[in-house]
Structure 1
């Protein structure tokens, strides 16, 4: 069935047949219309708002393949499993799947038997996958960037492949018939106006339709408590957990080491928990996820890698044992709770503001800023050694930090990607004191610090921070710690 001839009634019937819901949630219907019309789109919707259906349904209704670029293996596996259980033509590719399964998936792509393909930015840009995708006979309808905030948070240093995604569409179109259209849509739960601009610019979105929903969740009770010492922090945590009896929850920490140490201490006190971080094997991570989903673990002590896209409705509490670096991280992580709409308690523990009694929070932020400064200094040192024009694979082989350096230069407007693999340096002057990346990070760190100490309604503060100034006017949620006070 051609998209032009498909009636909205037929789209609606497919939605009800596949997912069994009675109706779309606003603005799901409008987003689906945009994607069926090959319109570039930027969507900011709260966690649990039904973003996945917005790109899954159009992909399943069209002839051809839709690429879903996703940051985490667990997130991909969770969504693909649900679709495959409905016998829908979906697959995933990542570097942890067995070679035979990978080979079978590549064959399914080449023979056009899939409608949805989930893969990471790095896998998308690997040669075996790319060579299949550029086949002129392979129909590609759309490119979906799921969890698009990762482009902003990770694209400069941690996952530099994100910075090359803006050239994907133009590179694919060079190999496709002249009339081919490939829409790009970016989905996230958290993006302030500045982040939206970065996403739109890096992806080269063309006159995108923008859907921004207020992040307010009326069932979330936000609270911040000062921990005057490391011992006090653990005491506050333990009291909170004990008050929740056997309710399901999550504890977020900022490092692998903290995750392991805290989980070990809690288990020694007869709490049923586990440590979850990116250093675990894929099998270990899956086992922990499954146990938590089945309530065999009451809670998990985890880094930011846990929970993205995992659908567990009855999470009644979320604790940040340490403040995150970014407000967007905070909103993402608390969004894993309360998906059923029932009351959910959200607690953040912080060192006292001066840092004199417990400097650990301040030291952690300083460490991340120093690391960013070191990377900028490395970019300044290497920029005159790197060829002004070249191929990223050659650079990666010659320079250990080559990909990150190119990504930093791109974020500072000093480099352009000619295609997904070739670059051109526009300027060799790196001013590390005024680089975009450093300036943005300072702004973001300042925001989280202000959130911790504000005496205003916490939801009002979040609304302002994410650009919803009109909604924030005279807003009081009535149920955060400041409103209750």
Structure 2
């Protein structure tokens, strides 16, 4: 059967070889065994179940949490000549019943279905009456209650094991630490499944985290200098911030659109469709956007606020560069982010056990943000993976962080928090340290404290950096009511003089450095730019004719291979990775003609 799998891989998907461990997963499912697959975003998880579903008798049932993901993948499969469809609540009356009948007639190879529909008694009865090749549970981390994207409807998916014990199941995710992996396996009854873990590293993504000064201006400079006309996603913590940021970027000439749950369903769908189908759209969104979005040419993901966990950060940044081409994960964060997240956690109605887990996850995220060594090593280590050498493709590797002896400044900061009664936020404490006679300072007589004016040597932004790092490192805590700072036991040694403290030196990133990195991230050199744009224009025209996103025709990586190898015949074009037989027949001649004019 593996011989047939290799033939299917080449003729349908246009690839001559599997990426490890795709071949092992495919072989396991073809043999009727269960599997658990942990593979980074862009690593090729979908082929692991799509290909066996084409070879095994019956229809493959794919459980997917988002309607957009289903429709996106179905469109891509249909372009490959695969008989695929989806069933969800957005379909017109009669559509789902027609899909059920098509499956009964053996007219479909793959059906994507939402978990809440799958577990309906009528759906289970229908599935019991047809031949099923396999069940694929995509985004399987949604089953983990301690994970970052829990969906309660996923808990019911254990019914597949009980109701269809002889049909192979595969659970797939790109984001799961060791505890989450155990929970997925236990909740889905996959204790006997073969486990395949291919690693978390995304070497094409450049990770960069910097101090938040004027966040919107920093973002605009990043986009204009490094990713003009590129597709990207900007994440914000609140809906209001999404709206104001998208509006402001649009006024500055960036093709930006908002996305959050407060918008109408129609507007969300319209904005998402534009993002998928048009080039150079920037989506500004809450974390509600993006899970399972299969757009491969997102060149950057930016965060204007700190994510609450490394899992969330990895999942969100992983939406960049799914095609393997150079991409950027860029983030600014500040003390206000730390305070806001700690307030949200402390004020939630969750159990104390859950709060403690969330706090540990936030502390790990703060550690990644504050680290002065290789970020990729720290990120991978969180997921239990070891990178022996620094990556050379994160900000700390490219521009090694400077540190300074912050012991004296930290003692002044901690003393001022104590002298003012541990009842005030960072802004007021900084005003006292810098000797500013504000109304609040006068009201509480804080100009009479011994710490008034002892920090005049540092600027407001430098003090914010000090306080941010003191909170991140556990010397200070935040009261969730009004963001007041108070001392932790950990600060005793520092205040007594028996401990010193090295702090990161936060400096503004120079535009010169950004321009250098932008040149690194260009997909093509100047000598091939005309050919590259011609191939993209050809793809866009065909996509509009077919009513699908451009990447469904061919990924950027496939266009780049065409540009590099310059095939002159259909036979030569057929050797390009990503060009299957159906697409060769359908689009080959058009692309050859478009390219030939620019060779």
User: Secondary structure at the residue paired with 2:144?
Assistant: helix
Q: Which runs of 5+ in 2 are unaligned?
A: 401-599
Aligned equivalents of 1:367, 1:325: Cα separation in 2:
10
Output aligned runs, 1:319-334, within 5 Å.
Answer: 319-334=302-317
* Greater Cα offset, 92-101 or 290-299: 290-299
Q: TM-score, normalised by structure 1?
A: 0.76
Give the equivalent residue in structure 2 for 1:85: 79
Residues 205 and 326 in structure 2, CA contact (< 8 A), matched pair in contact too: yes
Output aligned runs, 1:102-251, within 5 Å.
Answer: 102-135=96-129, 138-152=130-144, 159-173=151-165, 181-228=166-213, 232-243=214-225, 244-251=227-234
Question: For the structure 1 residues 148 and 26, does the alpha-carbon distance in structure 2 shift closer, same or farther, using more than 3 Å as the test?
Answer: same
Question: For the structure 1 residues 217 and 305, does the alpha-carbon distance in structure 2 shift closer, same or farther, using more than 3 Å as the test?
Answer: same
Residues 41 and 185 in structure 1, CA contact (< 8 A), matched pair in contact too: yes
Aligned equivalents of 1:172, 1:68: Cα separation in 2:
14
Question: For the structure 1 residues 158 and 210, does the alpha-carbon distance in structure 2 shift closer, same or farther, using more than 3 Å as the test?
Answer: closer
Aligned equivalents of 1:246, 1:139: Cα separation in 2:
47
Question: For the structure 1 residues 440 and 116, does the alpha-carbon distance in structure 2 shift closer, same or farther, using more than 3 Å as the test?
Answer: farther
Question: For the structure 1 residues 282 and 62, does the alpha-carbon distance in structure 2 shift closer, same or farther, using more than 3 Å as the test?
Answer: farther
Q: TM-score, normalised by structure 2?
A: 0.62
How big is the shift at 1:170? 0.6
Aligned equivalents of 1:268, 1:153: Cα separation in 2:
41
Question: For the structure 1 residues 163 and 312, does the alpha-carbon distance in structure 2 shift closer, same or farther, using more than 3 Å as the test?
Answer: closer
1:42 counterpart (32, 36, 59): 36
1:357-398 Cα offsets, whole Å, 9 max, x none, are xx3442234325533xx2x4xxxxxxxxxxxxxxxxxxxxxx
Aligned equivalents of 1:146, 1:259: Cα separation in 2:
28
Aligned equivalents of 2:155, 2:346: Cα separation in 1:
21
1:25-84 Cα offsets, whole Å, 9 max, x none, are 121111100111122211111111111011001011111122211111111111111112
Aligned equivalents of 1:365, 1:139: Cα separation in 2:
50
Q: Which runs of 5+ in 1 are unaligned?
A: 1-5, 174-180, 353-358, 377-431
Output aligned runs, 1:19-34, within 5 Å.
Answer: 19-34=13-28
Aligned equivalents of 2:337, 2:393: Cα separation in 1:
29
Question: For the structure 1 residues 234 and 156, does the alpha-carbon distance in structure 2 shift closer, same or farther, using more than 3 Å as the test?
Answer: closer
**Is structure 2 residue 252 aligned with structure 1 residue 253?**
no
1:367 counterpart (340, 344, 349): 344
Residues 6 and 16 in structure 2, CA contact (< 8 A), matched pair in contact too: no
Question: For the structure 1 residues 38 and 461, does the alpha-carbon distance in structure 2 shift closer, same or farther, using more than 3 Å as the test?
Answer: same
Give the equivalent residue in structure 1 for 2:546: none
User: Secondary structure at the residue paired with 2:362?
Assistant: helix
Aligned equivalents of 2:294, 2:203: Cα separation in 1:
19
User: Secondary structure at the residue paired with 1:48?
Assistant: coil
How big is the shift at 1:193? 0.9
1:421-442 Cα offsets, whole Å, 9 max, x none, are xxxxxxxxxxx433xx444323
Residues 254 and 322 in structure 1, CA contact (< 8 A), matched pair in contact too: yes
Aligned equivalents of 2:100, 2:178: Cα separation in 1:
38
Corresponding pairs, count: 398
Question: For the structure 1 residues 163 and 340, does the alpha-carbon distance in structure 2 shift closer, same or farther, using more than 3 Å as the test?
Answer: closer
User: Secondary structure at the residue paired with 1:274?
Assistant: strand
Aligned equivalents of 2:70, 2:394: Cα separation in 1:
34
Give the equivalent residue in structure 1 for 2:251: 268
* Greater Cα offset, 278-287 or 94-103: 278-287
Give the equivalent residue in structure 1 for 2:429: none
2:329 counterpart (341, 346, 353): 346
Give the equivalent residue in structure 1 for 2:552: none
Rg comparison, structure with higher value: 2
Supply the RMSD in Å over aligned alpha carbons. Answer: 2.3
Aligned equivalents of 1:280, 1:124: Cα separation in 2:
28
* Greater Cα offset, 161-170 or 46-55: 161-170
How big is the shift at 1:286? 3.8
Give the equivalent residue in structure 1 for 2:391: 477
Residues 109 and 132 in structure 1, CA contact (< 8 A), matched pair in contact too: no
2:273 counterpart (290, 293, 302): 290
Question: For the structure 1 residues 336 and 155, does the alpha-carbon distance in structure 2 shift closer, same or farther, using more than 3 Å as the test?
Answer: closer
Question: For the structure 1 residues 190 and 155, does the alpha-carbon distance in structure 2 shift closer, same or farther, using more than 3 Å as the test?
Answer: closer
Residues 65 and 142 in structure 1, CA contact (< 8 A), matched pair in contact too: yes
Residues 39 and 184 in structure 1, CA contact (< 8 A), matched pair in contact too: yes
Question: For the structure 1 residues 153 and 318, does the alpha-carbon distance in structure 2 shift closer, same or farther, using more than 3 Å as the test?
Answer: farther
